[in-house]
Amino acid sequence: MERLIIFGGTFDPVHCGHLRIARQASLSLNADVVFVPAKSPRWKEPSASKEDRLNMLRLALQEEGSPSFFISDCELKREGETTYSIDTVRYFQKKYPKYELFLLIGADEVNQFPKWHEAKEIVEIAKVIFANRPDIDIDKNILKEYKMVSLNFFESGNVSSSAIRSLQSVDLPSNVLSYIEEHNLYFMKRLHSYLSDHRLNHSLSVAHLAYSIAISNHIPSPERAYIAGALHDIGKELSKEESLRIMEEWFPEYKDYPAFSFHQFTGAYLAKKEFGIEDKSILDAIEYHCTGKAHMSPLAKIIFSSDKIDPTRGYDSSEMIKDCKKNYYVGFLRVIQENAKFLSSKGGTSSTELSKQCYEEYLSKEKEQ
């Protein structure tokens, strides 16, 4: 008997965690997987339109799908505002009468399943399966009563749609990320509130360059490079008064630095306060992307370099980009050297103590290469 896994959800947006779970379920059960985007769940209002959610799902399956994956828009077409899983299960029972049906749900939905509309009727038609999550304590009595089966899969990744929407994660197929950028969805609206079109284009270019450098160098959690790049300049267009207020309150040791450097500090402040970024490596990369400093982390070096060699800056940085993708550290040393030459040609020098410490440490190492 052929098998079909029904994978419903808001998919707002679909992310790589969804795809990993679906792939594991398909392999474990030797089954096809149908993704069923919901119209409007009772417990939450989707952030993106049903058209955008469906388009992103199609893109995700094009890039990282499987021949066993397909999409059904049956819930989106269903009349009425509320959709129930029992109706969806019955729909596929009727459409595929000779198939063994499974309903794939999230671990966070298991304990709430008894409250679902006609829950007992659902399990008479389809076996309920779920992917474990270490942070969720499953009620074993519910598993027994509804004969649920765990996939014993713990590698979906620490990602959620809400984290994507707030720029806490970008664990997405690349074409879905591009769609979010191009259609001004989720975190893009907040970035627009801080950045002009020109500045936002630069920030996204830095984000993509940093992300590609991180991937090329096998840096753990390369999505952090995208997040840091996207946020690195969010303090750039604050008023002088607001910048100075933040500096005096949160960075008093740097308040006498040249004003051009303030945005790296205010950017780190906004990334934490307004975007909820808690990852210290991301915050540090933002906080020192302009001046640099001694003892920079790999991520900080990548953001520093990406900002300086961003292709949208209007000069040929292609060789330095190649260097960074081949070896981010060697590339960073070259960027430091070229930046020092540029400052010297303009009659300038490292104008802050942070910059002096950065150049003293890394220019000497560049000479050793």
Q: In this structure, what CATH number is given to the domain that contains residue 235?
A: 1.10.3210.10
CB atoms near residue 345 (< 10 Å)? 8
Dihedral through CA 86, CA 49, CA 52, CA 107, nearest 10? -40
Task: Say if residue 191 is in the same domain as residue 134.
Answer: no
Long-range contacts, 254-259 (Cβ 8 Å, 24+): 254/354, 257/291, 257/352, 258/351, 258/352
Note down pLDDT in tens along the chain; length 369 residues.
899 999 999 999 999 999 999 999 999 999 999 999 998 755 566 689 999 999 999 999 999 888 999 999 999 998 876 788 999 999 999 999 999 999 999 888 999 999 999 999 999 999 999 988 777 889 999 999 999 999 987 676 678 899 999 999 999 999 999 999 999 999 999 999 999 999 999 999 999 999 999 999 999 999 999 999 999 999 999 999 999 999 999 999 999 999 999 999 999 999 999 999 999 999 999 999 999 999 999 999 999 999 999 999 888 899 999 999 999 999 999 999 988 777 666 555 567 899 999 998 998 765 555
Answer yes or no: is 158 within a domain: no
* 54: containing domain: 3-150
Residue 276 shares a structural domain with residue 143: no
Domain count, the chain: 2
Q: Is residue 155 part of a domain?
A: no
Q: Quick one: 209 and 349 in the same domain?
A: yes
Q: 221-232 b/e with 16+ CB inside 10 Å = b? A: ebbbbbbbbbbb
Q: Is the domain of 236 the same as that of 94?
A: no
**Residue 75 sits in a domain of what CATH number?**
3.40.50.620
Q: How far apart are CA 338 and CA 332, in angstroms?
A: 10
Last residue of a domain, one of 103, 130, 150: 150
On whether residue 174 sits in a domain, the answer given is no
Distances (CA, A) of 244 to 223, 234, 283, 350: 31, 15, 19, 22
Please say whether the beta carbons of 338 and 305 come within 8 A: no
Judge if 276 and 196 occupy the same domain: yes
Residues 190 and 143 occupy one common structural domain? no
- Among residues 150, 165, 196, the one where a domain terminates is 150
In this structure, the answer to whether residues 111 and 197 fall within a common structural domain is no
Q: Tell me, yes or no, whether 115 and 238 share the same domain.
A: no
Q: Is residue 279 part of a domain?
A: yes
Question: For residue 245, what are the contacts with CB-CB under 8 A and spacing of at least 6?
Answer: none
